[in-house]
Structure 1
Amino acid sequence: MTSTQQAVPRERSVRRVADGGGSAVAVDTIVVDYGGVLTNPLVETFVAFAELAGIDAGDLAQAFMAATERHGETPMAALETGAITERQMVDRILAELPEGAGRILADGRGFGELWFQGRTPNEQFVSFLRALRRDGYRIALLTNNVREWEPLWRAQLPVDELFDVVVDSHKEGVRKPDPAIYRILLDRLGTTPQRCLFVDDTEENCLAAAEFGIGTVRFADTGSAVSEISALLHRPVAVTVGAVGGAL
C-alpha cells in the first residue's frame, strides 16, 4: 500500500450476502487470485510458452506429470513455495522431455521470460475491481506465485494502487489450497471469513476457502464473474465486459 493510500481513509462499503445457512453477513473485502483471474487463462499461457520454447505442448504436459511422479509434487508447487529455484524447476522438466527438446531452456533462456510473453493482464476485471474499491470495498490478492517472477507480474498490474493486502505463496512458504495460507490471509486482513468473498479459477482453491466459511466465486470468464459478484453484493454491473471474458 502506498503512503497516499494510507493517508486517505476510504469509507468501507458493506453488503449483506447470504451464507450457506441463509443468514446475512457483512461482506466488505474481495479477495482475488492472480493467474487465470487477473490474467488470461492458464491454458493460453501454457500453449504460448510451449510454442516459444519450441516444445510440443503434449510433451511438455507429460514432462510436468512425470516430474510430479518422480519428486512427489508438481514442479510448480515446489517453485511457488520457494522450495526450489526456477533453475531447479527447469532442470526437473528438462529431465523428463524427449532428447533435444527444450533447447532454449537448456541454453539458459529464462522460463519466466518466455512464460510472461504469453501472459496478459485481464484489464476488464481489473477495471471492475477498481470500481469496487471506489465503492469502499477492500481488495486483496491471494496468489500462488514465484520469487523470480515477482518483477514480471507486478509490472502488469497496479498492485500498490489496487490491493490493500497481498499474500504471496513464495513469501509464506505455503500455497493454496493449504489451509495455512487462508489463515495467513485472514490474519493479515484482520477480519473474519464471513466478511470476505474469494474469487479463484481453481475449484480446489475455492473449496478450501469455503471450508473456512469464506464465500466463493469460481472464475470461468470475466462476464459471468462480474455478474455473479455484483449479484452477491446487490450491486449493479458497473463495467462493460465483452463476450470473450477472461480470455483477454
Structure 2
Amino acid sequence: MDTLPFDAVLCDFDGVVHLWDPDGINSLDRAWGLTEGTLAAAAFDGDLLQAAVTGRLSDEQWRRQVAQVLAPVCGSPEQARELVKAWSGLTGRVDTDVVELLAALRTRVPVVLVSNATTRLEAYLAAIGLDEAFDAVINTARIGVAKPDRRVFDIAAQRVGAHLKRCLFVDDTAGHVTAAQAAGATGVHYQHIEQLRAVVSPLLD
C-alpha cells in the first residue's frame, strides 16, 4: 500500500525557486532619476499586471504599455522604452538548494511549477536552465486564470493525474496558500528551505 503523504507537489516560482534582488528595480529608478518605486508601480499595477498574467496581454504588449505609462515621468517615450528594456534584461537568482530538493522529490512524485506569469515564462526558464526542472509547468498566462483562482490548482493537479486533496502546494504568498487550502490541497506558506525540507521529509524517507 502506498504510504506517501502526497501524490504531487505544486510549487510557486518567484519567491521560492527563483529570487529577485529587492533593490534591482529600484536601482533602475535611481539611474533614470526617478523616485524609487516608480517602475514597480507602473509594471505591477493591479489591472495591467492581471491582464498580463492571465494572457489578455502578451509579455511584449504588457511591457509596451508599461513604457507608455512611464513616458511622462521619464521625459520622453524613448527614455521610457530604454528603461523598460533595462528592466526586461534583469535576471533573478535561482535558489539551487530548492532546485536540488525538488529534484529529489521528483524521484518520488511529480513536481509542478505553478506561476502567475506572463507569456515570457517558458523562454525565461530555458534561459536560466530550468526548463527541464519540473514535470509540468502551469503558466497562468496560458490558461487564462491566475492564483488565487481555485481553477489554477485544479488544473495543476490534473496535469499530472493527481487529486488536489493529495497535493502539497508551496507558495510564498499567504493568500495563494489559503486559497489552495480552501480548494482542498495541503498548503505551505514558504519561508525558507529548512521549513520546506521538514514538510517534505516524509516523501523522501
Q: TM-score, normalised by structure 2?
A: 0.81
Q: By how many angstroms is 1:197 displaced?
A: 0.5
- Helix, strand or coil: the match of 1:57? coil
Aligned position for 1:114: 89
SS at match of 1:177: coil
Are the aligned partners of 2:125 and 2:131 in contact in 1 as well (CA < 8 Å)?
A: no
Aligned CA distance change for structure 1 residues 214 and 85 (closer, same or farther; 3 Å): same
| Counterpart residue identity of residue 15, structure 1 | L
Residue 179 to residue 112, structure 1, CA distance change in 2 (3 Å): farther
CA gap of 1:112–1:14, structure 2 versus 1, over 3 A, is farther
Deviation at 1:92, TM superposition (A): 3.9
Q: Distance in 2 between matches of 1:39 and 1:192?
A: 26
- Would the aligned equivalents of 1:90 and 1:105 in 2 still touch at CA under 8 Å? no
- The RMSD of aligned alpha carbons is 2.8
1:112 and 1:150 map into 2 onto residues whose CA distance is 18
Paired residues, number: 199
By how many angstroms is 1:149 displaced?
Answer: 4.1
Question: Residue 7 of structure 2 is aligned with which of 14, 19, 28?
Answer: 28
**2:38 is matched with which residue?**
59
* 2:154–2:164 Cα contact (<8 Å) kept: no
- Cα separation, partners in 2 of 1:106 and 1:14, compared to 1, 3 Å: same
Distance 1:121 1:163, change over 3 A: same
One-letter amino acid of the counterpart of residue 158, structure 1: L
Letter in 2 for 1:106: R
Describe the shift of the 1:211–1:188 C-alpha distance in structure 2 as closer, same or farther (beyond 3 A): same
Per-residue displacement from partner, 1:105-164 (whole Å, max 9, x unpaired)? 424853663232xx1111110001111223x2221111111213421223224332x322
Q: Distance in 2 between matches of 1:92 and 1:28?
A: 41
Residue identity matched to 1:89: W
